[in-house]
Every structure is written in structure tokens, then in C-alpha cells.
Structure 1
Amino acid sequence: MADHTSNFVPLNVAVLTVSDTRKSCNDTSGNFLSLSVKEAGHRVNEHLIVRDSIYDIRAAVSRWIADDSISAIIITGGTGFSDRDSTPEAIKPLFDKEVEGFGEIFRLVSYQEIGTSTIQSRCVAGIANRTIIFALPGSTGACKTGWKTLIKEQLDAEHGPCNFVPHIADANECVSRG
């Protein structure tokens, strides 16, 4: 079995808050994600708030996907079932590949915290133009769950046997579990 000895790779990350009501002063979810990204050793290139509109979301995410310096995008908000929740509809057409396991594992972990209410989460992830995109619910608790249990390790080249860094940055490929 191969030895997983990759070095940490600091990534450029964009954070997007999708909300019709949030401003920078009360964006607890987006602020949590930005701070967590920095504490993990990555850079936040931009933290933006857009209204819950397919076209506003898609415009921001498309701009970052086209920017070769952005390796990851983390979105908070717009993943529920209200008439205004449109994040999955905005970003799924942009994916080259969807990461089906992200939503599945998020809901599994979230079930332990909030029970069956987790089925109303339409969080998704995918890769587009070598950029990993994670879309989380808008609550700060959900962002903490997503960051701590999934995203942080998947953006860490030292996490084995696999992480997303080789798919989004120049790094070693993941090793086989043997």
C-alpha cells in the first residue's frame, strides 16, 4: 500500500452567501465559513452576498469558476424548499461532475443533530473547471456541520487516502486504499 505523505496546499477559496436579507454585519454563516477557511490555512479571495436568484448565484459562481486562481467555492443558503431557494438549480448546470456523496453524507451526519428535518436540505457539491463547489444550507449550525465533518478534510492535501486537492490544484494523486 502506498504511503500518503502529501504536504499541505493552501488554496484560494471564494465564499458566497445566498440571501435576500443578510448583510455583512449579520452574515453569521458566511462569516463562520470565511474564518474557518482562514484558520485552516487557506485564503479567502472573496466573500460575496447575493440575493436568492438563480441568475445572481450563477453569475457569481461562473465568474469564480472561470478564474484559474480560485480552487474552491463554498456557498451557504438557498438549499431549502421555499419558493426563493434556488442554489441547486443555479449551480448544478455548471458542474462538470457532481459529487453525489456530499449531500448523502451531510444529511447522514445532520440527521444525528436535527433528526428527520435534514431531508429538507438540498445541499450539493460538484467540480467545474477544476474548481470544487460546495453548497450548504444557510444556518450557521449546518455550515459548522458541513465544514467540520466534510469540507475541511476534503480541502486538505494531507487527508488520506483521498481528498479533492489533486482534482483542483497541482498536487499528488490520491493513493489507493489497497
Structure 2
Amino acid sequence: MSFGKSLQSAIDYMESHLLEKINYENVAKEVHMSCYNFHRIFSLMAGITANEYIRNRKLSLAGQELQLTDSKIIDVAFKYGYETPESFAKAFSRFHGVSPKLAKRKGTQLCLFNPLAIKIILEGVTLRIIELKKQANKDLLQRCEHLIMKLFLKFLIILSLNLEILVCIEMG
């Protein structure tokens, strides 16, 4: 499975399990990645952690449900995994800027956090190694450069190898 497909699969898994107790470790296992790598890569690509993504999606859906249905606040809190109405109200207020009670009023504006979609477009990218911090022989340097180029083009990420290579990306 390609890297883009793995991340989209992770997002799809999170979306389909939002009403369950879920965290990034569950998602990492689902997409067969180590927790460490999944956490780093998801954070790099999405700009937020997977746990923040899950929390934001739950709070966004909870806000929509409070506005569009006659559901009670306590029921919505439990539905989206909060153990107490107070903890839900605190998280809800931080995310939306209004209390759940105010959110039920018509005309109240809430924050909307839509599902992410991974789309990778690669145009005219040149990758080159500009500095090697640790000493390495010429053959090792060439293999590292080839490996980094291959990984970048395939996965669209920059890996920090144990050789501490500083990578420069030039967009053409």
C-alpha cells in the first residue's frame, strides 16, 4: 500500500470509529505502522496530531448534532466519548468558543472541522543533499541520496535518517 493510501486509510478508519474510544495507537495498528512513525508522519502531513484530529472531528460533529437535532447535551456528550457533561462542556467551549447550551440556539456560529482527504501532487521537485553532518564515504552518500529521493517521491516526506542529513527541496 502506498504512503498516501495508508494515510487516507488511517483517516477513513478514524472517521468510521469516531463514536468509539479511539486514539492514534489504535489507528497506527490498523494501518500497520509503528505508533512512533504514524504519529510523526500524520502530524507532519496534517499539521495536527491524530488525537487532535479525532477530538476536533468529534467536537465538530457534536456541535452539528446539537444544532440540528433535539438531542440533550448529556446524551451528545456520552455519544462522543466524554465521561462527564462538564468535561464535554469545557472541551466544546474551547473548540467552538460557545457553551453547548448556547450552541443549541438557532443562529449560533460553530467551528466546522471537516474530514481530511489526502491528495498528493508532485510537480517539478528536485531533491539534493546539501550537507552531511557525520562523516560518510562517497558510496554511502550516494546510496543515501538515492534512498532519500526514492522515499520522497514515493511517500512525499522527508525522513530524518540516523546520518543527520540536511535536505534541501527545490521546486522547479
- Normalising to structure 2: TM-score of the pair? 0.25
Q: Which has more helix, going by share of residues?
A: 2
Q: Which has the larger radius of gyration?
A: 2
Q: Which has more strand, going by share of residues?
A: 1
Which one has more relative contact order, counting CA pairs under 8 Å at least 6 apart? 1
- Normalising to structure 1: TM-score of the pair? 0.25
